[in-house]
Amino acid sequence: MLRLLTRSDSRLLQSVFDACADYALLQDGQPFAPDVAQLEFDEVPAGFPAEAKRIFAIEPAHGLPVGIIEGLCGYPKPNIWFIGLMLIVPQYRRSGLGALALNKLEAHILSVDSCSEIELAVLKVNTAGLRFWEKRGFALRREAPAAAFGQKTHERWVLGKRIGDAGLTCPAAPASPR
Ligand SMILES: CC(C)(COP(=O)(O)OP(=O)(O)OC[C@H]1O[C@@H](n2cnc3c(N)ncnc32)[C@H](O)[C@@H]1OP(=O)(O)O)[C@@H](O)C(=O)NCCC(=O)NCCS
- Where do the structural domains in the chain lie, given as residue ranges? 2-162
Determine if ligand 1 sits within 6 Å of the CB of residue 137: no
42 alpha carbon to ligand 1 midpoint, in Å?
27
The per-residue DSSP string of 80-133 comes to: EEEEEEEEE-GGGTTSSHHHHHHHHHHHHHHHTS--SEEEEEEETT-HHHHHHH
3-state secondary structure of 50: helix
N residues, the chain: 178
Burial of residue 97, with CB atoms counted within 10 A of its CB: 0-12 exposed, 13-18 middle, 19 or more buried: middle
Task: Specify the amino acid at residue 142.
Answer: R
Q: 6 CB less than 6 Å from ligand 1?
A: no
Kindly report, residue by residue over 3-59, the tens digit of the pLDDT. 999 999 999 999 999 999 999 999 999 999 999 999 999 999 999 999 999 999 999
21 C-beta closer than 6 A to ligand 1: no
Dihedral (Cα; 73, 77, 78, 79), 10-degree rounding? -80
What is 2-162's CATH number, 3.10.20.30, 3.40.720.10, 3.40.630.30, 3.20.19.10?
3.40.630.30
- Whether residue 122 has pLDDT greater than 70: yes
Beta carbon of 86 within 6 Å of any ligand 1 atom: yes
Q: 53 CA to middle of ligand 1, Å? A: 24
Q: What is the residue with the minimal CA distance to atom 29 of ligand 1? A: 94
Q: Is 94 in the pocket of ligand 1 (CB under 6 A)?
A: yes
How far is 97 from 88, CA to CA, in rounded Å? 8
Considering the entire predicted model, what is its pTM?
0.91
